[in-house]
Amino acid sequence: MTTTTASLLKTCLFGCDSSSSFKFKCKFVSPAKTLLLSPATGKHVVLRSLRAWRIRCVSDDPGSSHVFVSSRRKMVAFLSTVQLLSHLLPPNGNAAEIYPVMQNEIRKVVTKGKAAGVLRLVFHDAGTFELDDHSGGINGSIAYELERPENTGLKKSLKVLAKAKIKVDEIQPVSWADMISVAGSEAVSICGGPTIPVVLGRLDSAQPDPEGKLPPETLSASGLKECFKRKGFSTQELVALSGAHTLGSKGFGDPTVFDNAYYKILLQKPWTSTSKMTSMVGLPSDHALVEDDECLRWVKRYAEDQDKFFEDFNNAYIKLVNSGAKWNKL
């Protein structure tokens, strides 16, 4: 085990100081020598009795002695902690092998009707990134932030992905950050958008990101440009990423088709109509894009050329799901 793992385990089980620089190894000891993991399958086997098991913990400190944990309560705590850490520590395995597994399991649970919510999950996890201090970003912290007002409705999307992640983790544990990034890409593809390749190896955060980092829906165009600039995105990338609103119930064409209808409808400014239905199309931040000359230039370009929109969205999405990521090379 790594020092980080050992420190967390020591704190959980023994209340020891987690600042130690010594490595800390834990070994299961059983009179019957029953294996906890099957070497053939890599899967857990059922324990016959927790009473028969002990954990021998050894520090590489020359002056230390063995520590045995035989309490069933502490054994359960240990196993629970190991399970938790499997999602926090760098994943092991082959990205080329697990990526198609992730895609397959995601497509089993993400329908066209659920695609907009999944894509929104990506934006709300990655959108907390701040370039100045490299805080926030794509790190799976959205799992701790679901009660925030701006994340209303995302609990359902995360629950959908959890079903796929359980299946993937049985083969090879992956981080929530990777799972969310790939799911967003698949959501776009499922709805007819571009196929976006996602590199794997992101690590998860163990705590929520600071509040108030997502772009408010009421921002003006200048406010949006300044906000996205702080996150490392240009005006062009801002407009391209905004095209994700073509999915869902915001009124931009077919809610389950990823195309350039968003830009075509923006140019029509339906929210200025006296009709109650059309006046509710889009958010104030969407409307702002056609009130700014620099943004309007890209809105018109994407309305005329869907291929250009797909190309720029592809590039901006890859940048988004890499923003603030902490990496482990698979």
The DSSP 8-state label assigned to residue 153 in this structure reads: T
Please return the burial class of 139, using the count of CB atoms within 10 Å of its CB with bins 0-12, 13-18 and 19+: buried
Q: From CA 184, how far away is CA 160, in angstroms rounded?
A: 12
Neighbouring residues of 62: CB distance < 8 A, sequence distance ≥ 6: none
Q: From CA 305, how far away is CA 238, in angstroms rounded?
A: 17
Q: What would the two tokens of residue 208 be?
A: 């929520």
The DSSP 8-state label assigned to residue 317 in this structure reads: H
Q: Are the C-beta atoms of 123 and 323 separated by less than 8 Å?
A: no
Q: Are the C-beta atoms of 167 and 290 separated by less than 8 Å?
A: no
Q: Which is catalytic among the residues 124, 134, 245, 287?
A: 124
Number of other CB atoms surrounding residue 115 within 10 Å: 26
DSSP letter for each residue of 20-78: --S-EEEEEE-TT---SB-TTT--B---S-GGG-EEEEEES-TT---EEE--HHHHHHH
Q: From CA 303, how far away is CA 90, in angstroms rounded?
A: 42
At 327 the three-state DSSP class reads strand
The answer to whether 124 is a known catalytic residue is: yes
Q: From CA 67, how far away is CA 117, in angstroms rounded?
A: 48
Q: Are the C-beta atoms of 205 and 126 separated by less than 8 Å?
A: no
Q: From CA 77, how far away is CA 84, in angstroms rounded?
A: 11
Which residues are 135's β-sheet partners?
Answer: 130
**Catalytic residues, which ones?**
124
